[in-house]
Amino acid sequence: MTKIFKYIRNIHYYETDCMGITHHSNYVRIFEEARIDFMKKIDLAYDRLENLGIIIPVTGIDLEYKNVSKFAQVLRFESAIVYFTGVRMTVQYKVFDNETDELICTGHTKHAFVDQNFQPFALQKKFPEIWQKFQDWNLHKDF
Amino acid sequence: MTKIFKYIRNIHYYETDCMGITHHSNYVRIFEEARIDFMKKIDLAYDRLENLGIIIPVTGIDLEYKNVSKFAQVLRFESAIVYFTGVRMTVQYKVFDNETDELICTGHTKHAFVDQNFQPFALQKKFPEIWQKFQDWNLHKDF
Amino acid sequence: MTKIFKYIRNIHYYETDCMGITHHSNYVRIFEEARIDFMKKIDLAYDRLENLGIIIPVTGIDLEYKNVSKFAQVLRFESAIVYFTGVRMTVQYKVFDNETDELICTGHTKHAFVDQNFQPFALQKKFPEIWQKFQDWNLHKDF
Amino acid sequence: MTKIFKYIRNIHYYETDCMGITHHSNYVRIFEEARIDFMKKIDLAYDRLENLGIIIPVTGIDLEYKNVSKFAQVLRFESAIVYFTGVRMTVQYKVFDNETDELICTGHTKHAFVDQNFQPFALQKKFPEIWQKFQDWNLHKDF
């Protein structure tokens, strides 16, 4: 069973800029969509976690833009958990044109696990089942 | 003393779209910037009001787009409170090219005054000084 | 056959604001998504029209916000062409919670048909088949 | 004379999310604002360069988020060109609370110089004065 998830979606008109291409900031936003989408699929929905007091802010991002994309282009966002300790997590992303498989962009988001006061806490101790689920889906390396 | 406030700002690259112009949704956002800016000037800063438990959500908007604007163009957002009852408020906006005075867009935002549970409450009774300040800056008609 | 189209999508994390709700400007953007989605379904894809030199800028919008929505909430955007002359068009929108059918927001966007230099032109004469298609899907009244 | 530029601006309401903080994607956008602002100051305005056929897309970004910021908080974006070859450029950024000097975030954007068809070209040969200006403002190292 693969631990790499797919999220397919087209580029919206308002996501383009006057260079005629998708504005680079929007990939950061769609990374978030892709991440939230796969976390829901593995029964770790963001809103459920936030209701439990588990907040997962982004602590770092990096992206490399390989090719431009345009309005109405259909992109496939592949993502996976590639590092997880219970305190920190890294998610990796690869973005392709969904038809041609042309590589559009790659990147990572880094995350911390904090409570509603943005304080770190022992996820493994407080929510062992949730910790286990993250661990189960951990690819342990870049894909 | 005028009750019409000015907020001047240039269009950002990421606010344009592949038509080469400012995306129409961004005027709604800059209306908010202009509104928050003048409310701060009249000692009704949004964050202070929210700390007091006074939330002012948008209940309606209308905009007419007269001319396009482009990246780096400097626009002047003129705005005023044109209707205020303590329960409801309307703010009007006119947007001009700041150099040529060409009219770019006009519009209104409608607002309700609610508490942190989104319930209406008696602003005049609970915060008479704040109510008075809104009333003082009320233009009572479109400009 | 209905002329009212449905576009279903959940609210993204980055579309919420510190009031804890969907920022009002985002409905304007999702109206655009819904409009572009149904135009593609009736073989009037935006990118195809733009390649033909048919540009359809927004000339006006109005929205009424009835109820708030939140992160991860699934909304149903219903939309229809309610006015079309070949020179101007109005699209109407109603937004519902997709499960409870609670009404979230209603609105309209007004449009002009212009060429790539933003000049009006005779759509009916120059592209009679495209004109006919818009006419066929015209509901002729609010729904 | 310093080669590090300052861009000061407050966080807008629509830039916050339901976590109550500035959404991480918005720093990417404000980096762009800061970069475009200092390029204008050194007579390398983006719109002038684009009119000359010099396009400077973003080819990579990295950010580290150190502390959260909130609605209405005034941030100071410090930025400088830290690498420039005529073919590629890196801009570095440091973001501070403008009052307390608390470090909010750091990062880089990487850029290529291409023509309007997104093809690389010899900036130094074709526009030696513009090349020289980038070179003059090059800090040659991270700050």
- Asked if A63 and A24 count as a contact pair (C-beta separation under 8 A), the reply is yes
- Specify the pLDDT at position D137: 97
In sequence order, which ranges of chain D are alpha helices (DSSP H)?
25-41, 46-51, 123-126, 128-136
> What's the full length of chain D, in residues?
143
Q: Which residues from chain D sit within 8 angstroms of residue A59, using beta carbons?
A: 64-65
pLDDT in tens, A13-71: 999 999 999 999 999 999 999 999 999 999 999 999 999 999 999 999 999 999 999 99
Closest partner residue to A28 (CB to CB) among D19, D28, D32 is D28
At B115 the pLDDT is 94
List of chain A residues whose C-beta atoms are within 8 Å of the C-beta of residue D61: 24, 61-63
Per-residue confidence band for B14, with pLDDT thresholds at 50, 70 and 90: very high
Question: For residue A29, what pLDDT is reported?
Answer: 98
Check if CATH label 3.30.365.10 holds for domain B5-136: no
Which residues are within 8 A (CB) of C5 and not within 5 positions of it... i.e. 6 or more apart? C34, C37, C38, C41, C78, C79, C80
pTM for the model stands at 0.97
Instruction: Please report the pLDDT score of residue B29 as a whole number.
Output: 98
pLDDT(C1) > 90: no
Q: Does the pLDDT of residue D135 top 80, yes or no?
A: yes
The Cα–Cα gap between A5 and A79 comes to: 5
Q: Mean per-residue pLDDT for D82-91?
A: 97
Q: Output b/e per residue, C68-94; b: 16+ Cβ within 10 A.
A: ebebbbebbbbbbbbbbebeebbbbbb
Domain assignments of chain D as residue spans, ordered by start: 5-136
Instruction: Write the residue in B32, B60, B62 that is nearest to C65 by C-beta.
Output: B60
**Which chain C residue has its CA at the smallest distance from D17's CA?**
C17
Q: D68 and A55 in contact by Cβ < 8 A?
A: no
Inter-chain CB proximity C16 and D18 less than 8 Å: yes
Selected for mutation to probe chain B from D11, D13, D16, D49 (highest B CB count within 10 Å) is: D13
* Mean pLDDT, rounded, for D20-28: 98
Partners of residue C57 in chain A, C-beta under 8 Å? none
Identify the pLDDT of residue C127: 97
Query: What share of chain D has pLDDT > 70, as a percent?
Result: 99
Q: Give the pLDDT confidence score for residue A55 in this predicted structure.
A: 95
Please, what is the average pLDDT of chain C? 97
Nearest 10 degrees: CA dihedral of D63, D68, D71, D73? -90
Band of pLDDT at residue D105, cut at 50, 70 and 90: very high
Asked if residues B57 and B114 have their Cβ atoms less than 8 Å apart, the reply is yes
pLDDT in the model for residue C10: 98
Contacts of C71 in chain A (CB under 8 A): 46-47
Q: What is the pLDDT of residue D19?
A: 94
Across-strand partners of D83? D90
Residue D104: the pLDDT is 98
pLDDT band at B103; cut points 50, 70, 90: very high
Interchain CB distance below 8 Å, D62 and A65: no
Rounded to the nearest integer, the mean pLDDT of chain B is 97
Give the B-side interface with A, CB within 8 Å: 13-14, 16-18, 20-21, 23, 25, 70-71
pLDDT category of residue A74 using cuts at 50, 70 and 90: very high
Q: ipTM value of the model?
A: 0.96
The pLDDT value recorded for residue C114 is: 96
Per the CB < 8 Å rule, is C55 touching B19? Answer: yes
Tell me which chain B residues have a C-beta less than 8 angstroms from the C-beta of A25: 14
Is 90 exceeded by the pLDDT of residue B1?
A: no
Residues of chain D neighbouring A25 (CB-CB closer than 8 A):
25-26, 28-29, 32
Give the pLDDT confidence score for residue B74 in this predicted structure. Answer: 98
CA distance to partner chain B, nearest, from residue D120 (Å):
22
Q: Which pLDDT band holds residue C15 (cuts at 50, 70, 90)?
A: very high
Q: Is the pLDDT of residue B7 over 90?
A: yes
Of A19, A28, A29, the CB nearest to D57: A19
Cβ within 8 Å of residue B111, ≥6 positions away: B56, B57, B58, B59, B88, B89, B90, B91
Identify from C8, C9, C11, C14 which residue to disrupt to test chain A contact, counting A C-beta atoms within 10 A and taking the largest count.
C14
Q: What is the pLDDT of residues C19-76, one digit of tens each?
A: 999 999 999 999 999 999 999 999 999 999 999 999 999 999 999 999 999 999 999 9
Cβ within 8 Å of residue D65, ≥6 positions away: A57, A58, A59, A60, D24, D27, D104, D105
According to the model, what pLDDT value does residue B138 have?
A: 97
